[in-house]
Structure 1
Amino acid sequence: MFKKLTKIIVNQMDPCKELDPVKSIADQEHFRPFCLLIKKKKSNRIFHRAPYYQRTGFTLDDVLLPGEDGKSTESLHQDSNQFTLTKVRADEVDGGLSISFDPASVELKGGASLFKGFSVKSKKNGISQQYLEALRRERKINMDHSFIQQLQRTDIRLYVVTEILEASEEAVYEESTKADRGFKAKIYATLHAKGTRENNQAIVIPKGCTLAFRTVPLHIRDGAHGVSNFQKMDYFQDEDEDNVVEDRQGYVDDGPSAGKLVEVRTEVRYSCRIFPELSPDRLLIILNTIKAVMTDENLLQELSQKMDEVLEENDGYELKTESPDLKELFSTLQQSPRHHLLQLAEGITYVLDALQELTEDQLLLLLESLERKIVSQQLNLVENLLKHDLEYVMRPFPVNARLLSFQHEEDQMLTIALVELSGVQLLQEKGSAIPRDEPFEAVAALFVALYALILLSGSK
């Protein structure tokens, strides 16, 4: 719920996309000004175009040598204007929501979720470029610091948080799942009973909570440090993207497509290219692990972190875990040749990234779909949706009635619920669909998840 709220705030308050939303309220303290972050060693996904940042637990002050005056970097933030985001009403039975913003008025709608209400007052805090420059001249990096030494052995890039959007008052965000059809209400209740995740309906946003952040790259060389530019950019990004393009040359999508579908297909096939080469036994081990993490957020985070570390370490990495659900996979990966291990870690990381873009309800609905053996038909439906412009044109479009027809009504309703949670409302009786709030990335993430589950399960 917190991730959904921060995304709404950033989308409405930061049209220039200079801020990144904080995903977890438990981690928000690690995204304050001067906090150090690392960018995960992977290109941005088509379903997540913002950078992937990970907290380090350190601030810039932690890794600098003491200054002459002994002062730390605390209390050097500068306040900016305050902003207020307020929910006004939510009274449409189809899951609609009207929200007013100052100075603009915006209407958001979601076919399967109903936002009950929230009012968030926020303000910006940041570091001046002048102060960072003065800090660069006065204090050097402690090259003996354990964290800095660890970075020297990897290709990990370091970033410093320079600006945040924080809550200036305590706020409560409430959400309820739409259940206007009897079966949909029943399926949600059944699936939540199967999962280990909590189905929270409200979350308290404390005063001072970080909602979004902005970073600049921090360069370190022989104890000296500095930022490339006080703008949100990464001077190494072009180099990475060129390598990705070069790696994909010659990988051509087969068959006609429209819209963004060809781009989504190309990326998912390239990123998951290792899976068709695996034996059925290895596929089953990966599938069972993926199914386990889909019902356990902590497990998903642990697996994601371990796979990132495999990709980042230059000299190999030993996989260890106390989680029974991960041990068989880690044992299999550890026995793989280095080049094979890297491809497996890349493929698993890609799938995990897509799963983290989905809602908790969607993950549970996907598990149920896997049991009902309807994932392939669902993929065909989502593939058809991606042929339409889901990024900018918010208007109804026709959907082949055959794609909405399932052998059992329960399968059909489950699929409609799954798709609507990605922001596309399906009107079965009219044979059409209505995109809500530019849902392309959410639908692309769902396509990736379905595609991966089919590969790993050996479905046709």
Structure 2
Amino acid sequence: MASIFEWVVKRVVRELDRNGELIPMDSLQNSASFQPYCLLSKKSSSSWFWRRRYVCVGLFIRDILEPSDPEPAVECVSPIHFQDTVDSNKQVSVKVMAPGQGKLAFGAAVSGSSSASLNVCTLRVSPNTWDTMLRERHLRQPEHKVLQQLRNRGDDVFMVTEVLQTQEAVEVTQTRKQEGSGQLALPRAIGSQVEGQGHMNRKKTVTIPSGSILAFRVAQLVITGSDLNIHGILNKKQRTFVTFQAESKLPGGAGDQRRLSSGFSMIKSIYDHFKIQSDGLTEDSLVLTEDFQGLQMEVNACAEILENFSKTLCGQLLGVLGQVLWDQQALQVLQALEESLEQGQQLGRVEPLSGPAGAILECLVLPCRTVVKELAGPIFYLLEALAALSETQHVLLAQMLEARSLLEPLKLVEGLLEQSIPWEERRAVSLLPELLGSSWGSEAPAWGLLEGCGLELQVDAPQVCWEPEAQGCTCALYACLALLLKLSQLC
């Protein structure tokens, strides 16, 4: 069963946000931190399917401006009452009888329910408010220490301009009940009959406190010298620190070095591989698009680079990745590796790390402690894909990896992505029977993987309700399955 908090958030956002501008919270633990006017940071991502998470930097806009007066009051939009109730009950029974041969019968029933009823309100910073604020205040000089650190790391900075907030505490419960029975009767001559039955009940309850943030909207800070602007319309190519962007245009400049150090420009290593291995295919002619063809090109390029790994190295990496999946720490490993590489870029060599991050790093460095960028590319790409998935999905992948059963779910996810085009539209997608494997239901591992992407699935007529917001997670799942399968085949 997926996170109840995430389930509630997705339901509310889907109902109230028609333009797709609200960013759902993915954790109840820090849902009170994303308040209007607070500053967030986000690193650029090397893969289009994984949107890096926004991170609170512990500052508000007043902390980087002079004078540091309190921010203007926010607008409170009229409260909205939201209620969502789901109650399902599905049963199936089969009987097989043959004269003189005996009888075989079995049945199964699955039922579940979930209900959420809550009052939410929108707190909003008017664009006119922040325009007036910026006319009357100026960026602090010297620059705040935290801004300096973000500038050096090449991170972008954003301000929360709108939040969807609960007005009172609410308790949400999800239940799932499964029952099964079977009967085997042999011919009279033998005179034996076997019967069995069982059931399993699951119940999850969470209390969402009053004042919890369910979703938020941001505007990007753009700093040019000592001038500060706030852009409400986000642009993927826009960077916060414009001077940093200008430096990156100089070959070998500081900006270029910092940018390369963020995961060593993983996609660039894939481009370079294509330039070397293919006939006349250059970086300019290789255009990776945000569609299934572009996804396949990225994953196939990574898989091709992995073929250069030795059997021993593939086995080492697979063992460490299995540990990462069981411990559900893909994001922490990715962050530790990135920080190590950023420091190594400045020192000319990377220092050893402890734990799984260190084990992965040792697979990618030469005896002189420099990183082999071509090898680092696909591994960082895989870690970014793993970081986009939930803890439940990590455990399911770990189980499939141990059982060497990655091929069937890979074909299933691949078929789903192909049938769901265009991804921007909601639709019901029928799943081909040959893609479902030996079982299909709420306990099937592939079911859990897809459910974790935010998709609704049906048992009777195997079907998936495709949701546009599930695109990123489903594409990340495809990349994980494909690359983990490739590594296991190379061992």
Structures share fold, TM-score greater than 0.5 = yes
Match of 2:210 in 1: 207
Aligned-partner Cα distance in 2 for 1:213–1:44: 23
Larger Rg: 2
Residues 342-392 of structure 1: CA distance to partner in whole angstroms, max 9, x if unpaired? 555553443334334444333222222222211123212322222212643
Contact 1:261–1:383 (CA under 8 A) maintained in structure 2: no
Aligned partner of 1:350: which letter?
Answer: Y
CA gap of 1:130–1:153, structure 2 versus 1, over 3 A, is same
Partner of 2:58: 57
Alignment of 1:318-333 (within 5 A): 324-333=355-364
Unaligned runs of 5+ in 1: 95-111, 190-198, 254-258
Aligned to 1:301: 331
Q: Quick one: which amino acid aligns to residue 385 of structure 1?
A: L
Aligned mates of 1:10, 1:164 — CA distance in 2: 11
- Secondary structure at the counterpart of residue 116 of structure 1: strand
CA displacement, residues 223-264 of structure 1 (integer Å, 9 cap, x when unaligned)? 32111x333445528x99xx98984844899xxxxx964333
SS at structure 2 position matched to 1:436: strand
The corresponding residue for 1:194 is none
Query: Which residue in 2 is equivalent to 1:231?
Result: 233
Alignment of 1:109-258 (within 5 A): 114=112, 116-137=114-135, 138-177=137-176, 179=178, 201-227=204-230, 229-234=231-236, 236=238, 247=283, 249-250=285-286
Q: Where does 1:402-417 land on structure 2 (aligned, <5 Å)? A: 403-406=435-438, 413-417=444-448
Q: Compute the displacement of 1:23 (Å).
A: 1.4
Distance in 2 of aligned mates of 1:290 and 1:114: 34
CA gap 1:51/1:415 in 2 versus in 1, 3 angstroms: closer
One-letter amino acid of the counterpart of residue 64, structure 2 = V
For residues 188 and 289 of structure 1, the distance between their equivalents in structure 2, rounded to whole angstroms, comes to 33
Q: Are the structure 2 counterparts of residues 347 and 166 from structure 1 closer, same or farther at C-alpha, using a change threshold of 3 Å?
A: farther
In structure 1, give the amino acid aligned to 2:65.
L
Q: Deviation digits for residues 257-304 of structure 1, max 9, x if unmatched? A: xx964333123234566433323333333323322232334x333213
Which structure 2 segments of 5+ residues have no match? Answer: 92-109, 183-196, 240-244, 246-258, 260-266, 272-281
When normalised by structure 1's length, the TM-score is: 0.74
What RMSD in Å do the two structures reach over aligned CA positions?
4.2
CA 1:334–1:379 in 2, change beyond 3 Å: closer, same or farther? same
* Residue 282 of structure 1, aligned match among 302, 308, 313: 313
Structure 1 position 20, deviation (Å): 0.6
Partner of residue 396, structure 2: 365
Classify the secondary structure of the residue corresponding to 2:463: strand
C-alpha offsets along residues 142-193 of structure 1, whole Å, 9 cap, x if unaligned?
434321222332322211111111111112232345646689x99999xxxx
Asked if 1 retains the 8 angstrom alpha-carbon contact of 2:350 and 2:370, the reply is: no
Among 53, 70, 73, which residue is 1:72 paired with? 70
Q: Which moved more, 1:22-31 or 1:340-349?
A: 340-349
Aligned residues: 411
Per the normalisation by structure 2, the TM-score is: 0.70
Query: For residue 4 of structure 1, what is the amino acid of its counterpart?
Result: W
What SS is found at the alignment partner of 1:219?
strand
How many Å apart are 1:15 and its aligned residue?
Answer: 1.2
Give yes or no for contact 2:179–2:199 (8 Å, CA) kept in 1: no
Which one-letter code corresponds to 2:463 in the other structure? I
Structure 2 residue matching 1:383: 3-state secondary structure: helix
User: Runs of at least 4 residues of structure 1 off by over 6 A?
Assistant: 185-189, 243-246, 311-314, 336-339
Higher relative contact order (CA 8 A, sep 6+): 1
